[in-house]
Amino acid sequence: MDSAQEDASSTDVFLVTANVGSLFEDPERLLQLWLSEFLAKIARAQPRFLALHLQEVGGKTYEKSMEYVQEFIRCLCDAPEMGDFTCVHIFMDEDFKSAEHFTALGSLYFVHKDVDSLKIWNFLTHSWEESLQDIKDKHIYSGNIETIATKEKSKFPQHFFPECKWSRKGFMRTRWEINGTVIDLVNIHLFHDASNLAACENFPSVYCKTRRRALVHTIERFHLDEQNGTVPFFLFGDFNFRCDTEGVVKELTENLTPHRVQNVKNENDKIHYRNSTGNNVLTVGKKEFSHADHQLKFKEDWLKKFDRELEPLKDVLVEYPIKFVPSYPFEEDPEMPTDYMSTRCPAWCDRILMSPQVNEIIQGDDWTYGMIGEAVCMGDHKPVYLTVRLKPNKGPANPTAISKLPEGLANLVNQALNDESLWMEQSVVDDSSASHSSAAKSRYILMKKGTTASPCKEDPDEAGALAAKSDGLDTESAMLLKETTV
């Protein structure tokens, strides 16, 4: 087949990743907004194969959100824009009572009636499902989907989790043969940054290392899968990739003075970075990251150089250039659709990556990598999409495992699994040491209800807290803060 024929018979593929947790926290305001914007995008693109990977389906309280999850699926499937997608396969991991298996992942696939040839892989029989009745029509799997053979799903091992607190993180994989070309589509959700203060101590942070280990573990698993073999794959989901927070803070605070404020009661530390006139320019707390020019500063080009989590994986994962603003954390208010929350440093958490072998099966110069809903509230994560054109008849019909790991991946495996410091760090993450120094000067401030702050003691040691009490100050009805100039 010459290049012109190949181009004409290529399949338009539309891949989307979306963390939808916040939709189900406020479904009455956000659900229809999200669906309307998503469906409008699909109507304009008119793909022949649509893959939608969802994370945090149902939000934090799945048992209370199940009815909205069902409504979400029904609205999506019944929408006029989806009328020509005659083949639907939906995998919704909804068994929230199973701590061992629950990932809150949803993988939804819609195939246009014009697709000539389609197969889906059976991970139990290690062969293709070729019967039309097993492939065509609507197949919606929800609840406990552990026994569904046309997907592979795994929660990450408990010892991978920061502080060994098991949460809903893992991956779900499906395999498709579309007009003779085989691809794996993998939905993934990695660990978040629990504390901004810990994240800005160094790079890579303990959270970054934990994400990398889980990601390397997943890719290694695919490469060594002898029964199902190895094929080109797209890996898209909420990677929770964060900017090099240490580098970002240094960039933003040049010529500023840090002042640590510590709440003595609950150890809720914050660091205020102030200019020469005493104005706060940047505040960093465990769950606060606020800049004086917050809504413009993080949409500028300078931030992209701190998007570094993929650097060590460049030999095993590739990505098209990012031309959109950070996808997280946006305000969840429909009146503020383009504003970032001041909880985290904005970052490109939501990504669409691929194995290097994908380049051999797609039209290399025909792609779009972007964001859905730039001007509409889509929750705290904006969906990210990639369009590509899949060449026909690129196989392999009978996938086989590789004999050994590629050198780059083998090196990453050794680094990730033998990093003893990570095993120690992940269970003892401590914010309290951030930005401390032997020359620090502290003072205690009593914040009373309905009053402005006034300094109670200027004392460089813990005696200040005791002194405040000895002066008869009512610390039960007020908040005692310790401010440290570092």
pLDDT at 426: 45
Q: Report whether pLDDT(350) > 50.
A: yes
Taking a C-beta distance cutoff of 8 angstroms, is the pair 281, 253 a contact?
yes
Higher local confidence (pLDDT), 41 or 444: 41
What value does the mean pLDDT take over residues 332-357? 97
Banded model confidence at residue 161, pLDDT cuts 50, 70, 90: low
- In sequence order, what are the beta bridge partners of 340? 330
- This prediction's pTM: 0.85
User: C-alpha 36: how far from its chain's center?
Assistant: 23
pLDDT digits (tens, 9 = 90+) for 180-197: 999 999 999 999 999 999
**Window from 128-132, 167-171, 448-452 with minimum mean pLDDT:** 448-452
Q: Report whether pLDDT(454) > 50.
A: no
Taking a C-beta distance cutoff of 8 angstroms, is the pair 380, 262 a contact?
no
pLDDT at 434: 45
Higher local confidence (pLDDT), 402 or 30: 30
What value does the mean pLDDT take over residues 451-475? 44
User: C-alpha 17: how far from its chain's center?
Assistant: 9
Q: What sign has the CA pseudo-torsion 336, 340, 344, 347?
A: positive
**Window from 56-60, 209-213, 456-460 with minimum mean pLDDT:** 456-460
**Window from 77-81, 179-183, 222-226 with minimum mean pLDDT:** 222-226
Domains and CATH numbers, the chain: 1-241+308-420 (3.60.10.10)
pLDDT at 96: 86
Q: Report whether pLDDT(433) > 90.
A: no
Tokens (6 digits) for 320: 């098209």
pLDDT at 436: 44
Q: Report whether pLDDT(475) > 90.
A: no
For residue 47, the tally of other CB atoms under 10 A from its CB is 21
Tokens (6 digits) for 269: 């530390």
CA–CA distance from 351 to each of 44, 213, 237, 366 (Å)? 21, 17, 6, 18
Higher local confidence (pLDDT), 185 or 483: 185
Tokens (6 digits) for 338: 């383009």
Q: Report whether pLDDT(444) > 90.
A: no
Q: What is the DSSP string of 213-250?
A: HHHHHHHHHHHT-TTT----EEEEEE------HHHHHH
pLDDT digits (tens, 9 = 90+) for 12-33: 999 999 999 999 999 999 999 9
pLDDT at 62: 77
pLDDT digits (tens, 9 = 90+) for 355-382: 999 999 999 889 999 999 999 999 999 9
pLDDT at 130: 73
Taking a C-beta distance cutoff of 8 angstroms, is the pair 287, 192 a contact?
no
H/E stretch holding 30: helix 27-45
Q: What sign has the CA pseudo-torsion 338, 311, 203, 405?
A: positive
Buried b (16+ CB within 10 A) or exposed e, 373-404: beebbbbbbbbbbbbbbbbbebeeeebeeeee
Higher local confidence (pLDDT), 39 or 481: 39
What value does the mean pLDDT take over residues 266-284? 90
Mean pLDDT, rounded, of the chain: 85
